[in-house]
Amino acid sequence: MPAVSKGDGMRGLAVFISDIRNCKSKEAEIKRINKELANIRSKFKGDKALDGYSKKKYVCKLLFIFLLGHDIDFGHMEAVNLLSSNKYTEKQIGYLFISVLVNSNSELIRLINNAIKNDLSSRNPTFMCLALHCIANVGSREMAEAFAGEIPRILVAGDTMDSVKQSAALCLLRLYKTSPDLVLMGEWTSRVVHLLNDQHMGVVTAAISLITCLSQKNPDEFKTCVSLAVSRLSRIVSSASTDLQDYTYYFVPAPWLSCKLLRLLQCYPPPEDGAVKGRLVECLETILNKAQEPPKSKKVQHSNAKNAILFEAISLIIHYDSEPNLLVRACNQLGQFLQHRETNLRYLALESMCTLASSEFSHEAVKTHIETVINALKTERDVSVRQRAADLLYAMCDRSNAKQIVAEMLSYLETADYSIREEMVLKVAILAEKYAVDYSWYVDTILNLIRIAGDYVSEEVWYRVIQIVINRDDVQGYAAKTVFEALQAPACHENMVKVGGYILGEFGNLIAGDPRSSPLVQFNLLHSKFHLCSVPTRALLLSAYIKFINLFPETKSTIQEVLRSDSQIRNSDVELQQRAVEYLKLSSIASTDVLATVLEEMPPFPERESSILAKLKKKKGPGAVSVNELEEGKREGELNGGGERGGDNSAIAASNASTPSPSADLLGLRTGPPVTAAAPSAGSLLVDVFSEAGVNDDGFLSSAPPSVVSEDPAPPLPESNELLNKFVCKNNGVLFENQLLQIGIKSEYRQNLGRMYLFYGNKTSVQFVTFTTTVTCPGELQSHILHIYTCKHMFILAYTCCDKLNVQTKPVEPLIEGGAQVQQVINIECLSDFCDAPLLNIKFRYGGALQNLTLKLPVTINKFFQPTEMASHDFFQRWKQLSQPQQEAQKIFKANHAMDTEVLKAKLLGLGMALLENVDPNPENFVCAGVIQTKAQQVGSLLRLEPNAQAQMYRLTLRSSKDTVSKRLCELLAEQF
């Protein structure tokens, strides 16, 4: 950077800043600023031309005023003029002002771009760096369009100075992050990758940031960087601290570059080349060995740099998960950090060990540190470290240590921070279920969990314990006895009452032989909690009472008295009142056989994914370590302590399918995504009486899944084509609406890929049940279609694979509450050009009646247009090339709408093509150009629209390199004007 001359001190600016700082009040400051603004404005508008120094000084003052929080509405042109100066300080201030104050929509962008181009072509390295910094700071799409092709050339040019290469690499990275579709490396790919071999370490450090970002998006194009990265890493790791003196940081050679190289390698699988892989393993072993060496400095910067490289190396070892020796060594190294005095190191060690615990090679090594982790859970002062310790305990849990870990986590729960209690509860519940060889232990654990942290026990937890008790005959009696004893506590949490009401209502007869738990004692115990509970729990208890009448006829009169009381049949809550009246009438008029049939014991629940696991996934979010470990299954044979993995897996699967054995896949990890169990509420229980939801009309969880709607899809609605045409030139809006349902749509397309968001809104006050959607490809699109059904008890991801389109449909919620809205995501890939739109069939039940409708999804060929800018000469030259009769489609038609020029422009832009100005000799005509991107090929298309305002007619001409595209586009567009 050039030295600042003595005359560049700008004394006037220093005096102004001093005046501002000396102001005693806000009013005085504003007054001084307004005075200065008036002075600057008069100077800029004066007849006397300002020299570069004065412009620079006044622009600096404006910049300072802006940074104080005041709006600046002038001076921009003077800043742009500074860019043409040959003095560094003046040009620097001009670029600084533009970077801070000029937005991407400014009218000055073209002038700024011209000045930047001049500086980039000047070959003055200082000016080139200033220009590149400005491009990166602004980072607008206009900047990317103007310079995305120029910067890679500067980056790889042999005569470019190293400092300029660094700036070019980081500038290109910035543009790629803001406009990835405009930064196309193409021919520059291999030369950019070879910057990893550059002799200047600063260039390599800047280039690797760019290469890492590009590799994440296009790994195949940049896979040659792996061998170069390994080679460069090997040279750094094996070098002494004196070899790279300019890049050695507290005796650690090039720590930032080492970390970036290790991070780049994490974008790829282990190298296939044996020599490269061997060299990389040597590097990783060297890093682990250096971590064991005594520190060369006591300063914290040395240990920070050293540990940064170590943790990145461990992350790479975990990513590869293929070197048992390295994994165990990494685990041992992290184990040493667990007792380090530095809190951050303990946190990072716990976090990394969570991931190591999921590897079959290092799981046993992680388990050896269980006592240290338990101690950290109990004694750590930082809550975030305690949470990581809990995560690690959860991750290292298996059959051998499940009881110890669950006991420790339960013990910690009593004093745990409120912010992590809910997550801890979910983890305890999952581990207790996952490794429950002895189900009496599982019942004890969950009831203890409710006792300790009842407020944090979600409904998913007590729903799940009920499902398991119902499915396990051998634990039902023990569960009834245990919950009866738990209810005798003076202070009993409401969740305990719910579990007790349900289990005693179903299995109270199993403990009724003991006088201490006779039917009447059970009823009185439950009813003593009734007045303390919320409405949904009272509703469940009323259902338990009617079950008691079936199980224990001797309690009939006592329970009828309760149901007959004014507090029940005249209850202000309509749900409780209705239950009391109906149950009273049922118990009075129904015979014993009818009661036994209506109130029979719940059948076993179908095996499906645990809703507790689903709740934890939702809480932790995608990518959470501990959840991923459960999802992928640490070791399949460990599920529920499930013994050895012998025999035919298919036979086991068949037996599991025919008999709902709770010991097989209790968590449902091999089934679809979760079923959301909703709590019965005062407003929803009445509606649920005849529904197929997860809670039936007596307040108990329904076990029988609703049958998938099997009726054939309805034919497309008569107005389907009209609805489709509404979306030819737009991507957002309401696709369909009737008195029950509203379907909104929002879509986005890039090249041959598209993503569509469908929003299903329930306009009624009654829920839609068994809501299913199916996407099919009719006619020419049809090749092979996998239908989807998304119902209350199963989610199945649809993948409609056709010759012309791939349509991936993500599941939609099968239950839509009254007034609610759910979203569905559809991913689309265009394989080749097509004419027919995919069909969307929607089925649901409303008030028991099946609703079945089919619409056309607004996916048309023009959605995959990439606009193409062309000069007049190029357009008509291409127009003549597409002169074969089959390549042209033309239509003359009467205008359907008012012939408004701005509306026509908006529709043509919405079509997806580029609207070319000043190309057609007749200024009244419109011409457009674009390329349709499909996986198989690119189809260039040209459009000419000739309006005749006098006759209110249009002539539309399409020419494409493929005849079917011209015809289809002509058909679609003729309906738009």
Cα 780 to Cα 715: distance, rounded to the nearest angstrom:
17
With the C-alpha atoms ordered 371, 374, 376, 379, is the resulting torsion angle positive or negative?
Answer: negative
Return the bridge partners of 755, or none: 748, 827
CA distances from 837 to 171, 570, 734, 856, 861 (A): 42, 57, 17, 6, 9
Both tokens of residue 413? 């729960």
Q: Is 463 annotated as a binding residue?
A: no
- Dump the DSSP string for 637-655: GGGGG-----S-HHHHHHH
How many Cβ atoms are within 10 Å of 646's Cβ, its own excluded? 8
The one-letter amino acid at 632: E
Q: Is 58 annotated as a binding residue?
A: yes
For residue 591, what are the contacts with CB-CB under 8 A and spacing of at least 6?
none
Both tokens of residue 454? 């009842």
Task: Answer whether 446's CB lies under 8 Å from 461's CB.
Answer: yes
Both tokens of residue 356? 């190591």
CA distances from 805 to 720, 911, 965 (A): 20, 19, 15
Task: Say which DSSP state 604 is in.
Answer: P
Q: Is 48 annotated as a binding residue?
A: no
Pairing of strands 248-249, 252-253: antiparallel
- Dump the DSSP string for 940-966: EEEEEEEEETTTTEEEEEEEESSHHHH
Question: Rounded to the nearest 10 degrees, how much is the dihedral formed by the CA atoms of 143, 147, 148, 154?
Answer: -140
Pairing of strands 741-750, 753-762: antiparallel
The one-letter amino acid at 440: S
How many Cβ atoms are within 10 Å of 296's Cβ, its own excluded? 12
Q: Is 213 annotated as a binding residue?
A: no
- b vs e for 493-516, b when ≥16 Cβ sit within 10 Å of the residue's Cβ? bbbbbbbbbbbbbbbbbbbbeeee
Task: Answer whether 390's CB lies under 8 Å from 420's CB.
Answer: yes
Task: Answer whether 284's CB lies under 8 Å from 277's CB.
Answer: no
Task: Say which DSSP state 671 is in.
Answer: S
Task: Answer whether 800's CB lies under 8 Å from 776's CB.
Answer: yes
Task: Answer whether 404's CB lies under 8 Å from 432's CB.
Answer: no
Both ends of the chain: CA-CA distance in Å?
59
Q: Is 60 annotated as a binding residue?
A: yes
Tally of helices (H runs) and strands (E runs) in the chain: 40, 17
Return the bridge partners of 941, or none: 930, 960
Q: 């460069």: which residue's tokens?
A: 232
Q: Is 53 annotated as a binding residue?
A: yes
Cα 178 to Cα 172: distance, rounded to the nearest angstrom:
10
Q: Is 12 annotated as a binding residue?
A: yes
Return the bridge partners of 830, or none: 805
Q: Is 801 annotated as a binding residue?
A: no
Q: Is 642 annotated as a binding residue?
A: no
| Nearest CA among 824, 683, 703 for reference residue 693 | 703
The one-letter amino acid at 324: P
Task: Answer whether 317's CB lies under 8 Å from 284's CB.
Answer: yes
Cα 165 to Cα 608: distance, rounded to the nearest angstrom:
57
Distance of CA 911 to the CA centre of its chain: 30
List the binding residues: 11-12, 43, 53, 57-61
